[in-house]
Amino acid sequence: MNHHGYVYQACNFMYTGATKRRTDKYTEDGKHSRHYDNSNQGKYRVVRSSKHRYIYITANKRIKREMLADLKYPILNYYPKGDNSNYQLGDYLQRELVCLS
């Protein structure tokens, strides 16, 4: 989780914690998972890191109160903080493969 959501924090989004790590279908050459090759279907998965989850509700007070009451996640009273340094996007992260069979 290299991104802490500073833009969301500055815009007063509500922080609800982080998602769980997940896996996506593996595709060669970095293509989107919907373009998978049938020969590898279901055999390999790529680990996707956990992400911070923010929400913002644009509604009147009554509807906003109802939506917050129905929310599945708790609203946390803090924002994640981290090293506020510049970072490079690109292929510096190594993909982690999981074999299901």
Domain ranges of the chain: 6-99
Q: For residue 54, what are the contacts with CB-CB under 8 A and spacing of at least 6?
A: 5, 8, 9, 13, 14, 15, 16
The predicted-structure confidence for 60-96, as pLDDT tens digits, reads as follows 999 999 999 999 999 999 998 877 666 566 556 677 7
Q: How many CB atoms lie within 10 A of CB 26?
A: 20
Average confidence (pLDDT) over 33-57:
77
- 0.75 surpassed by pTM: no
Q: For residue 80, what are the contacts with CB-CB under 8 A and spacing of at least 6?
A: 1, 4, 5, 15, 18, 52
Tell which wins on pLDDT, 12 or 47.
12
